[in-house]
Amino acid sequence: MCGIAGFIDGKLSKEEQDPLLEKMLQSIAHRGPDARGKYFDGAVGLGHNRLSIIDLSVDGNQPMLRGRNSIVYNGEVYNYKEIRKTLEAIGVVFKSNSDTEVILAAYENYGVDCVQHFVGMWSFAIWDEEKQLLFCSRDRFGIKPFFYLNQGDRFYFGSEYKALYPSSLFSSAINEAQVARGLQLGWNTWNDETYYHSIHALPAGCNLIFKVGKNMELVRYWDIDTQKRSNLTWEESKEKFRDLFLESVNLHMRSDVEVGGCLSGGLDSSAIASVIGKEYSNSKFKTFTVYYEGKNEVDERPWVTEVLKKYPQLDPYYFTPTDDDIRNSFERAIWHADVPLAGSSPISQYFVMQLAASKGIKVLLDGQGSDEMLGGYMHSLIRLIGGDIGSGKVGSAIQQLNAHATMQDYSLGQKSNLFLKSLLAGFQSEQALYELEYKRYYPFLSKSNEIPFQLKENSGSRLNQFLYQLTFASSLPTLLQFEDRNSMAFSIESRVPFLDHRLVEFAFSLPDEAKIHNGVTKRVLRESMRDLMPQAITDRKDKKGFVTPGEVKWLRGPLSFLLDQNFKELDFLQYHKVNSLIDDFKRGNNKNANLVWRLVVLRWWMGKGRS
C-alpha cells in the first residue's frame, strides 16, 4: 500500500519538476513512510511513497523500471505468485520478489489486458517510453483511489485530493452537484466526479490511457453481469461459495509483515476472523474492536467474545473513545478523509485504525462488500419482496414479509410500512426510487432542482438490480473511500476479502433465495460458514452496521462547536432551511440529526478541513 503521484506537463521547466513532485508526495507522506522515490523522463514525472508489505528489500522500491517501462503503484495483486509462475514458464526473468515487477512484466506480455489477470486491489500508472503513453488503471471495485487533473496535453494524478493541490491545474471551485448528493444521499463520489470541478476520479473497473497530442481514452475493462445465473444446487452453491471465500481470505493473508483484523462482532468480520482462526490455528492473530459504553450505546464485545471462545488464539484489543478523543481527533480525521463525512461512523473506524497501528499492524483485514453483494441491508429485503409483488408472486412476497416481521417482532404498523415500501419498489425503477429518496427523505436544501445522477440500467432480478447500484453507485464507493483514508492515515494497508471479484461474480449469479430467504439475510454466507463460526453469530439477525452515537450525542457534546459556524457561506443551499434545521436541532429536535451532521461537517470541511 502506498501513495502515488505524477504528471505529464510540457509547460514545466526541468527546475520546476522536482520541487512540484516533492510537494505532491509530501502531502500524502502518511500513505508510505518507508521510502520515497521519483523518476523523470522529459515532461513525465512519477513519484511514490512506499509502505513496504511485499518484498521489503530495496528491490521493491518505486518508481520501478523494467526495460523501457516504469511504474508507480498502490495496492496488492494477491495472485502475483501465480502470474509470475505463468510468465516464468514462457521465459520471463524477474529481478525482485515484488508484485510490482509482476505487474510490469504482465504489461509487457499482455498489454492493457494485463488487468484481466489480476486478483486484487490497485491503482497504478505505467509510463511506456516506447509508445509515449501513460497507462493508468484502477481495480474493479475502486478499493484503491486514483484522482486526476487534465487540461489539454497536461495531466496530473495522485492517490488523494491533496496530492493535486500543488498543481496549477487545480481549482478550488466546489462541485455543487456532489455537495447535493452528499447531503441528500450520503454519497461522497459519483462516477468520475468529486467535490471539486477540477478533480476527477478514475472510475472503478476502468483503464485510462493518456498520450500527448491525442484524446485521453477511458475504457471500462470489467463489469458485473446481473443476468448470469448459476445452475448449481443449493448444496453445491454453499460449497463453492465457501471455497471461493476461503481462497480469498488465504490470498489476502499473503504478506511479508504481520496481518491483523477488524472484529466488530457482526457476521462479516466474524466470518473472516473465523476462517483465520481455523486456517491459521498455530499463530496469534490480533483483532481490533471499538465500542461505546452507556445507556442505548452499541457495545459489540459480547458478540466478539463468542468468536474468541471458539478461537482462543485470536488476540483481541479494544478501545472506547472519550469525549476528548473525539474532540481532539475530529479535525485530523476530516483532513485525512478528503471529503465531508456523511455520518459519524468513519470516525469510529479512524479509531480502529489508530488502535491497530499502536500495536504495530501494517496490514488489516476488514469486511466491506458483503452487505452489498449478499443483501445485508434492510432495503434489500424491500426489493426482494417488491420483486415478488411486481412479478405476480404474491404468495412468496407475503411469506417473506411475514417471516421477517415475525423474526424482528414487528408491530402491525411496522409490518404495514414494510409492505408499502415493498409495493412501491415492485413497480418503480431504481432510478425513480433513488430520485424519490433524494427529494423526499430529508428536507431538500439545494437551490437546483436537477437530479445530479443517472443510474446505469441493468437487468436481472429486482434484488440484483439494487445490489448492483449498492456496489457501484451508492453504498460501497463511499465506504471504500473511508476505508482507504482511515487506514492510510495510520500507514496501514486495509484489505477487503469479500471483494475478490470471482466471489462477487458468483454471488451475483446465485438466485435471490441464496441471499435472502424467509427474512434471513446473507443466507449463503451464514450456511456455508456454519461449522466455522459461532452459532450465536451465524444465527444473529439484528443488523447493526458500524453504529456510533455521533450524529446526536457528539453534536450535543464534544463536537457541539460545529453547530456555531457561519452557514451563510453555503450560498448554494437554501439558507433559511439550513438555519431552521440547525435551530431545531439546538432546541432538542433530533428528527433530522443525520442531515444536520452532514451540514455542519460540510461547513467545517469547506472552512478548515481542507487545509
Residue extents of the structural domains in the chain: 2-220, 234-373+475-538, 378-472, 550-609
Contacts of 451 (CB under 8 A, 6+ apart): 435, 438
Q: What is the H or E stretch that residue 24 is in?
A: helix 14-27
H or E stretch covering 401: helix 394-407
Spatial distance between the Cα atoms of 548 and 554, rounded to a whole number of angstroms? 9
Here the contacts of 82-90 (C-beta below 8 Å, separation 24 or greater) are: 83/117, 83/118
Residues 135, 221 contacting (CB under 8 angstroms): no
Per-residue pLDDT, 283: 87
User: CB 440: neighbour CB atoms within 10 A?
Assistant: 10
Q: What are the beta bridge partners of residue 6?
A: 46, 157
What residues pair up with 124 in beta bridges, in sequence order? Answer: 73, 137
Considering only CA atoms, which of 50, 66, 46, 205 is closest in space to residue 123?
205
Stretches in the chain below the pLDDT threshold 50: none
Nearest to 444 by CA among 453, 435, 455, 456: 435
Q: 466 in helix, strand or coil?
A: helix
- Contact between 371 and 264 under an 8 Å Cβ cutoff? The reply is no
State the pLDDT at residue 293.
85
Going by the DSSP 8-state scheme, the letter that residue 428 receives in this structure is: S
Catalytic annotation present for 2: yes
**Residue with C-alpha cell 502506498?**
2
**Are 122 and 76 spatial neighbours (Cβ–Cβ below 8 Å)?**
yes
Assigned C-alpha cell, 527: 450456511
Q: Phi then psi for 471, rounded to 5 degrees? A: -75, -35
Judge if 2-220 and 234-373+475-538 fold alike in CATH terms: no
CA angle 599, 329, 304 (to 5 degrees): 100
Nearest to 182 by CA among 348, 372, 341, 346: 341
pLDDT reported for residue 545: 52
Helices (H), 209-344: 234-252, 267-279, 301-310, 323-337
Residue pair 422/386 in contact by the 8 Å Cβ criterion: yes
Contact 263, 273 (CB under 8 A): yes
List the one residue out of 170, 125, 187 whose CA is nearest residue 474: 187
Task: Write out the three cell numbers for 43.
Answer: 515532461
Grid cell at residue 427: 413497480
Q: How many CB atoms lie within 10 A of CB 557?
A: 13
Lookup: cell for 15? 527546475
Cα–Cα distance, 205 to 193 (Å, whole number)? 15
State whether the Cα torsion 191-338-580-560 is positive or negative: positive
Q: Exactly one of 2, 114, 206, 262 is catalytic; name it.
A: 2
Residue 9: the pLDDT is 97
Residue pair 49/2 in contact by the 8 Å Cβ criterion: yes
What distances in angstroms separate CA 536 from CA 407, 531, 533, 541, 542, one per listed residue?
Answer: 15, 12, 8, 10, 11
Residue 267 makes CB contacts below 8 A (sequence gap 6+) with 370, 376, 522, 525, 526, 533, 537, 538, 540
Q: Residue 185 burial by CB count (10 A; 0-12/13-18/19+): exposed, middle or buried?
A: buried
Pairwise CA distance, residues 48 & 55, whole Å: 16
Q: Which long-range contacts (CB under 8 A, 24 or more apart) does 17-21 make?
A: 17/45, 18/45, 20/45, 20/166, 20/167, 21/45, 21/47
DSSP state, 564?
Answer: G
> Is 581 in a helix, a strand, or coil?
helix
In this structure, is the dihedral angle defined by the CA atoms of residues 536, 537, 539 and 545, taken in order, positive or negative? Answer: positive
For 341, the 3-state DSSP assignment is: coil
Q: What is the pLDDT of residue 550?
A: 82
**372 and 496 Cβ atoms separated by less than 8 Å:** no
CATH superfamily of 234-373+475-538: HUPs (3.40.50.620)
Map grid coordinates 466488530 to a residue: 264
With CA atoms as reference, report the closest residue to 16 among 198, 199, 167, 169: 167
DSSP H/E element including 579: helix 575-586
In CATH, the number for domain 2-220 is: 3.60.20.10
